[in-house]
Amino acid sequence: MSAMLRRYGGFITGLSIGLTAFWLLALVLLPYFNLFEASFRPYLPFIDIGGPQDTYSLNNYLSIFSHPTDVKLNFFGFTFLLNISIHLWVFILTIVFSCITTFIALALCYPLAFYLAKVLNPGRLATFMMILIIPMWVSELLRTFAWFILLAFNGPLTILLQDMGLITGGVRWTWALWGYSGVVATMVYVYILFMLFPVYNAMTSLDMNQIEAAKDLGASRFRTHWRVVIPHCKPGIASGCVTVFMLCVGSLLVPGLLNSPSSQWFTEVIYARMFDENDWNGGAAYAFLMLIACTVFVTLAMRLFKVGLADIAK
């Protein structure tokens, strides 16, 4: 601070610190705080705001439990009936399918990252990277739309498979997996590079001799990966998983376009409360609920897999 003062003088020092503080306080913390504060107040007609009814409570948060409904759950031929708040149910499904998406992305990226980092001739790496990156220059909206069209009823995928004689009639591609198949498939495509690059980066730093040493000592391919490659890549895997999971949970665009009639994403619930019902207080409460729950969930998962926060920041 004093070094900065000496170097640039009072005006520039004051200006740069002031602007940073303005950005942080006014543009980041203030809106958050505003929403946070609003989330504890009831949604009231305009004239009642600030009136005797306008008191702090946890009602907005607790309302996630108060929309009971009967959920019919088909699970490998068994049907379960569940009486649960619909908002809570959507919230749980959002977490579950975000986890599934993250896992699929990891399962696809791990072999690819290993191939790119350890098998592929380095001279051809640039070509492969370009092939992977160029589609990501297209906006997320367009990529989501592309899948929307691709998976549409009687859309290109159906027509292609019909022409190949593999299927007859139309297929509801987005209706499988309890109605989340379209959302999961598209999210995997849209967010996969956020998984690939951290895992790839972790793998490039692995000494090839480690893999050879494991093989030389008799380890099978599976054990070499399980005991040597995966432990080495764990920070990268964790980093990719957290990123993809958070992106999935927070996505509004993909579920908005690819939901089936029977599926909903929790971000849509928040959106509906804020923009359809104009209940910003309730929406804010749900948004914070999601933030807190996801943070807790990620922290627990990291604890379970013994990954430190510092590992992810690497």
Could you say whether residue 204 binds another protein (CB under 8 A)?
no
Contact criterion met (CB below 8 Å) for 273 and 286: yes
Among residues 227 and 303, whose Cβ is nearest to another protein? 227
As a whole number of angstroms, the distance between CA 158 and CA 168 comes to 9
Could you say whether residue 139 binds another protein (CB under 8 A)?
no
| Residues in a beta bridge with 83 | 70
Smallest separation (angstroms) from another protein to the CB of 207: 6
Could you say whether residue 168 binds another protein (CB under 8 A)?
no
Could you say whether residue 231 binds another protein (CB under 8 A)?
yes
As a whole number of angstroms, the distance between CA 108 and CA 278 comes to 41
As a whole number of angstroms, the distance between CA 109 and CA 105 comes to 6
> Which member of 220, 278, 295, 299 binds another protein (CB under 8 A)?
220
Could you say whether residue 205 binds another protein (CB under 8 A)?
no
As a whole number of angstroms, the distance between CA 170 and CA 152 comes to 10
Could you say whether residue 214 binds another protein (CB under 8 A)?
yes
DSSP class of residue 139 equals -
Tell me how crowded residue 287 is: count the other CB atoms within 10 A of its CB.
23
Q: Which stretch binds another protein (CB under 8 A): 122-130, 154-162, 184-192, 209-217?
A: 209-217
Among residues 164 and 217, whose Cβ is nearest to another protein? 217
> Which member of 212, 262, 300, 314 binds another protein (CB under 8 A)?
212
> Which member of 41, 87, 225, 232 binds another protein (CB under 8 A)?
232
Q: Which stretch binds another protein (CB under 8 A): 69-77, 109-117, 191-199, 227-235?
A: 227-235
Q: How many residues bind another protein (CB under 8 A)?
A: 17
From residue 17, alpha-carbon distances to 30, 32, 73 in Å are 17, 21, 55
Smallest separation (angstroms) from another protein to the CB of 223: 6
Tell me how crowded residue 163 is: count the other CB atoms within 10 A of its CB.
9
As a whole number of angstroms, the distance between CA 198 and CA 235 comes to 8
Among residues 214 and 284, whose Cβ is nearest to another protein? 214
Query: Cα-Cα-Cα-Cα dihedral of 7, 12, 18, 20, to 10°?
Result: -70
Could you say whether residue 213 binds another protein (CB under 8 A)?
yes
Residues that bind another protein (CB under 8 A): 207, 209-210, 212-220, 223, 227-228, 231-232
